[in-house]
Amino acid sequence: MSRLFNLKIRQVQVMFLDRKVRCIAMGLCVLSDLIVCSLKSSAIQIKIG
């Protein structure tokens, strides 16, 4: 009984960890996209200027 309970707790922990990792990964992707966009726009401004 306790072993099954421990297994369930572990599954929940893994799920939360997975979600956290996914959120962090998504955040990093969005951040890199923003950086690339700002670099492109600044490069365009430099070309125009």
pLDDT tens-place string over residues 7-20: 898 999 999 999 99
Question: Domain tally for the chain?
Answer: 1
Q: What's the rounded mean pLDDT across residues 21-46?
A: 93
Residue 3 has pLDDT above 70, yes or no: yes
CA distance 27 to 24: 5
Residue of 19, 1, 26, 24 lying closest to 11 (CA atoms): 19
pLDDT of residue 1: 65
User: Can you give the residue range of the structural domain that contains 20?
Assistant: 1-49
